[in-house]
Amino acid sequence: MIKRYVWIAMGVFQTAWLFPAQAQEASVPPAVATELTQLIDLYSKAREEQDTLLLKAILTEDIDQLVSSGEWRLGLRVAVEGMQRSSSINEGTRTLTVERIRLLDPQVALIDARYIINPSDGGDARKMWSTFIAVYREGRWRIAGIRNMLPTGN
């Protein structure tokens, strides 16, 4: 009888041990990966062209953005104003290249991208990382959070 309970306990333990690993390694369906990559491309285009209408269409009302300078932009109006100001001050070509997409659940995604700003004056490029938090609402993906990081090399 005790042997039976030991086998059952081992089976439960092994099953419980495997589920978290499977949940963390869930693959992103190709159609979703394409939609999310296109979302980041639209964000990049909106920033490059300072298109506030496009930004407002792809960002959530409660967007929050933490930029590499340490400024925290909370809410759509503040974020869009900050993005316009930043694009004016840091003129140049912005390139975002999606490196990794991870679904936290079917309606929440983390998107990691390399973020490079090549200054229009020919100076050194700013090589950063951006992480986007995207949410699926009302039949489409939108950006709910942005974290920009400027590695220091330390």
Over the chain (154 residues), the average pLDDT of each successive run of 10 is 50 46 65 98 93 97 93 96 84 90 97 92 90 96 96 70
- Predicted local confidence at residue 8, as pLDDT: 52
Give the phi and the psi of residue 61 in degrees, each rounded to 5: -60, -35
Query: How do 92-105 and 59-66 pair as beta strands?
Result: unpaired
Q: Give the rounded distance of the alpha carbon of 122 from its chain centre.
A: 28
Can you tell me the distance from the alpha carbon of 83 to that of 89, in angstroms, rounded to the nearest whole number?
10
pTM to 2 decimals? 0.80
For residues 20, 148, 52, 111, the Cα torsion angle rounded to the nearest 10 degrees is -30
Instruction: List C-alpha distances in Å: 76 to 4, 83, 84, 87.
Output: 59, 10, 12, 16
Pick among 3.10.450.50, 3.50.50.60, 3.40.50.720, 3.20.20.450: CATH of 28-149: 3.10.450.50
- Predicted local confidence at residue 86, as pLDDT: 85
- Predicted local confidence at residue 22, as pLDDT: 41
Count the Cβ atoms, other than its own, within 10 Å of residue 146: 21
Can you tell me the distance from the alpha carbon of 72 to that of 96, in angstroms, rounded to the nearest whole number?
20
Q: Which two tokens stand for residue 54?
A: 């496009």
- Predicted local confidence at residue 10, as pLDDT: 47
- Predicted local confidence at residue 94, as pLDDT: 86
- Predicted local confidence at residue 88, as pLDDT: 75
